Amino acid sequence: MGLLDGWQIPTGSLDFFIRSVEIASYLPGRIRLYSSKLVGDERAAQNLKSKLKSYAGIESAEINTVTGSILIAYDPQKLALNPELKKVEEYIKTHAKKRGSAKK
């Protein structure tokens, strides 16, 4: 365990991103986030979508620039192979406003 692990301090660009959005809901394989920074910004939305889809295991990323909604669908088993993404999923799991009844 590293010095920063217990403090939940962001350590990478994906970690910073996740902590800058509102985590609306989580189900294994499906996450909904909100970011006011995406409202009206098609360019930022396309950049984010490209970045998200570059990760193995992310099946789709839908972004609505009217509401700032981000819907991410992913394969939990493939995602688990990437330690950074697995860490992000664990953070989302514990900080989501709504969690589904499905359990791993």
Domains of the chain are 18-99 (3.30.70.100)
Q: Residue 56: CB partners within 8 Å, gap ≥ 6? A: 78, 79, 81, 82
- pLDDT of 102 above 70: no
Lowest mean pLDDT among 20-24, 39-43, 66-70: 20-24
pLDDT of residue 3: 44
pLDDT tens sequence across 59-81: 999 999 999 999 999 999 998 89
Length of the chain counted residue by residue: 104
